[in-house]
Amino acid sequence: MNIDDKRKVKIGLAEMLKGGVIMDVTNAEQAKIAEDAGAAAVMALERVPADIRKDGGVARMADPRKIEEIKQAVTIPVMAKCRIGHFAEAQILQAMEVDFIDESEVLTPADEANHVEKDQFTVPFVCGCRNLGEALRRIGEGAAMIRTKGEAGSGNIVEAVRHMRLVHGSIKRLTVLTPEELMAEAKELRAPFELVKWVAKNGKLPVPNFAAGGIATPADASLMMQLGAESVFVGSGIFKSEDPAPRARAIVQATTHYLDFGKLAEISKGLGEAMVGLEIRDIPENELLQVR
């Protein structure tokens, strides 16, 4: 396959995942709970972000045996996280035939200057972003899907909202700039010029744009979908809540029926305690995951 066909196939899977919920799981049992609750894919990782935040230490790619067990347990696509810039972890995950790799700020970065050169891989990548420039840099490296970073493991939606609004605000701005203003804007965004021109012309990102980082309730999912997310990732929000299965089901339904407010009221009833959230201002600057 040439590079265009390879990209088409990678972005194709991202298109297939739209409107579905991708859930963080740490073992086969959780993966099964996620699949039975209607998840469209699972994300295999060693610890959910809330625990990474709590325990500290270096967070790495999950144990390949765990990933293997998760792959055995479900028929839906299995994603896994690698550290930013850790192309060897990515190569191992590709050899294991995971369906998607999340080059994720939730894990401890392996390279503070460079991300993985994603076009070289057959497996598609998703990357986090806080703004349009970051999104376009990742797409320039070959990401087939973009998600907001939000603030993982916080149970607080405020950062994901900020990032989604920033991305869409900047896209809107590009569509009204004149052609001669685009180069300066590309410089401002620190984004590849060709991609800036593409977004200015099409008014959207060239890959699907999902929400992640702080989604804990069906209402959070609806909020992000209404802000323009094409689907949602739920990390700690499910397995750090009081009763994971009903909450997982409710978030799946909320993502599909995000504009049916009567239904949202119905499915939000009696889900038990959501995960305990964190006030972003109370997180020390050096413990924020999104700045990675």
Q: What is the 3-state secondary structure (H, E, C) of the chain?
A: CCHHHHHHHHHHHHHHCCCCEEEEECCHHHHHHHHHCCCCEEEECCCCHHHHHHHCCCCCCCCHHHHHHHHHHCCCCEEEEEECCCHHHHHHHHHCCCCEEEEECCCCCCCCCCCCCHHHCCCCEEEEECCHHHHHHHHHHCCCEEEECCCCCCCCCHHHHHHHHHHHHHHHHHHHCCHHHHHHHHHHHCCCHHHHHHHHHHCCCCCCEEECCCCCCHHHHHHHHHCCCCCEEECHHHHCCCCHHHHHHHHHHHHHCCCCHHHHHHHCCCCCCCCCCCCHHHCCHHHCCCCC
Q: Does 80 sit near other proteins (CB under 8 A)?
A: no
- Of the candidate residues 44, 70, 77, 103, the single one contacting other proteins (CB under 8 A): 77
Candidate list 63, 97, 194, 287; residue touching other proteins; CB under 8 A: 97
* Contacting range for other proteins; rule: CB under 8 A; set: 69-77, 112-120, 185-193, 277-285: 69-77
- Region of 10-18, 168-176, 179-187, 195-203 interacting with other proteins (CB under 8 A): 10-18
What x-and-dash track marks residues 250-279 binding other proteins by CB under 8 A? --xx--xx--x-------------------
Task: Please identify which residue in 55, 65, 75, 270 interacts with other proteins, judged by CB under 8 A.
Answer: 75
By CB under 8 A, name the one of 99, 119, 173, 277 that touches other proteins.
Answer: 99
Could you tell me which stretch among 6-14, 42-50, 111-119, 164-172 binds other proteins (CB under 8 A)?
A: 6-14
Residues with catalytic annotation?
A: 81
Q: Counting contacts by CB under 8 A, is residue 9 touching other proteins?
A: yes
Site string for other proteins, 108-147 (x = CB under 8 A): --------------xxx-----------------------
Q: Nearer to other proteins by C-beta: 206 or 277? A: 206
Q: Tokens at residue 282, please?
A: 């109370």
Q: Is 38 in the site for other proteins (CB under 8 A)?
A: yes
Binding site residues, other proteins, CB under 8 A? 1, 5, 8-9, 12-13, 15-20, 35, 38-41, 75-77, 94, 97-100, 122-124, 230, 249, 252-253, 256-257, 260
